[in-house]
């Protein structure tokens, strides 16, 4: 039986690699974490999903105080002029300041949104960026809040970087004072419907908690793609008593991955 399962797994993986679309997101923060202005969580470039020409970031944010200067929510890059992706709060009123870098403009993006976020209130924020679509979109609580298109679409190119992702202070600016939970990094540009689904926890990527292992595993997927989910509390490992999950099987998909996995 084990050999049969392994054979099915290998055949489906080979088929998936030929014609499938692999989409991956990692959740680096699950439960709320408190951040002071000097706190940060650093994720190295090699620890992130492999990105080609698109990415998205979603998180839940609760601000506990405002800053008279810029405050960093997240920033990927070694220098201050590498800003793909990045998000700050503006001085005093804490409005989202959403940035990315182009080959001719290292500080592109949306300057200010919604006049500022309120204190002691949880918000769901979604950052989506696409080179093929030539645009950045930003959502607050599942609703489209703003966008920035490339201005010179024939010549401007999105600049990704190999620097670390810093959540909280980025060493150039203080971080936000507040709480962050459900911080996810995706290697594709979420659609508006996908952003809404993540915000409402509907079946696009619905999660359930395994009470015995205190881990989170995906229970529902878009049938046209394979989505790999790595939770913040561990990596996928294989054991003899693992639970079998079928990923990406559906009408029109025909390709899937049968994987026996456990989140440890």
Cis peptide, bond prior to residue 230, ω within 30 of zero: no
Range from 32-41, 159-168, 218-227 carrying the lowest mean pLDDT: 218-227
Residue ranges of domains in the chain: 1-21+208-264, 26-190
What pLDDT shows up at residue 113? 83
For 128-151, b/e burial (b = at least 16 CB within 10 A) is: bbbbeebebbbbbebeebbebebe
Range from 101-110, 229-238, 251-260 carrying the lowest mean pLDDT: 251-260
HSE at residue 29, side-chain half, CA atoms within 13 A, is 24
Tally of CB atoms within 10 A around 1: 5
Tell me the pLDDT tens digit for each residue of 205-215.
Answer: 433 333 332 33
Tell me the pLDDT tens digit for each residue of 144-196.
Answer: 999 998 888 888 899 999 999 999 999 899 999 999 999 999 999 999 999 99
Please name the residues in contact with 166: beta carbons below 8 A apart, sequence gap of 6 or more: 40, 41, 42, 43, 72, 74, 75, 76
What pLDDT shows up at residue 1? 56
Phi and psi torsions of 87, nearest 5°: -150, 125
User: Residue 45: is its pLDDT beyond 80?
Assistant: yes
DSSP at 141 = T
Instruction: Note the helical H segments in the chain.
Output: 2-19, 192-200
Tally of CB atoms within 10 A around 38: 10
User: Residue 67: is its pLDDT beyond 80?
Assistant: yes
Range from 61-65, 187-191, 249-253 carrying the lowest mean pLDDT: 249-253
Higher pLDDT, 219 or 10: 10
User: Residue 241: is its pLDDT beyond 50?
Assistant: no
Q: Read off the pLDDT band of 201 (50, 70, 90).
A: confident
Q: Is 225 helix (H, G, I), strand (E, B) or coil?
A: coil
pTM, to two decimals? 0.73
**Region of 160 on the Ramachandran plot (φ > 0 left; ψ -120 to 50 alpha; else beta):** beta
User: Residue 114: is its pLDDT beyond 80?
Assistant: no
CATH for 26-190? 2.60.120.200
Q: How far apart are CA 186 and CA 111, in angstroms?
A: 23
What pLDDT shows up at residue 152? 83
């Amino acid at each position: 039986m084990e050999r049969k399962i392994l054979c099915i797994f290998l055949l489906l993986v080979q088929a998936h690699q030929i014609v499938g679309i692999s989409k991956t997101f990692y959740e680096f923060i699950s439960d709320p974490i408190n951040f002071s202005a000097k706190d940060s969580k650093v994720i190295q470039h090699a620890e992130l999903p492999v990105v080609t020409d698109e990415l998205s970031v979603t998180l839940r944010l609760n601000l506990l105080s405002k800053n008279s200067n810029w405050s960093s929510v997240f920033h990927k890059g070694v220098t201050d002029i590498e800003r793909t992706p990045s998000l700050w709060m503006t001085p005093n009123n804490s409005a989202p300041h959403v940035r990315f870098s182009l080959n001719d403009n290292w500080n592109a993006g949306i300057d200010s949104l919604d006049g500022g976020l309120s204190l002691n209130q949880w918000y769901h924020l979604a950052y989506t960026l696409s080179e093929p679509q030539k645009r950045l979109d930003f959502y607050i609580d599942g609703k489209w809040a703003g966008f920035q298109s490339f201005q010179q679409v024939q010549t401007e190119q999105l600049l990704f970087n190999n620097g670390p992702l810093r959540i909280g202070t980025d060493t150039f600016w203080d971080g936000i004072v507040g709480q962050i939970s459900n911080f996810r990094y995706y290697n594709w540009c979420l659609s508006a419907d996908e952003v809404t689904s993540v915000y409402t926890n509907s079946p696009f990527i619905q999660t359930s908690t395994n009470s015995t292992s205190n881990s989170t595993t995906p229970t529902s997927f878009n049938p046209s793609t394979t989505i790999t989910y790595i939770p913040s509390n561990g990596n996928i490992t294989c054991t003899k008593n693992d639970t079998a999950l079928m990923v990406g099987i559906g009408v029109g998909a025909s390709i899937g991955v049968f994987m026996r996995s456990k989140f440890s």
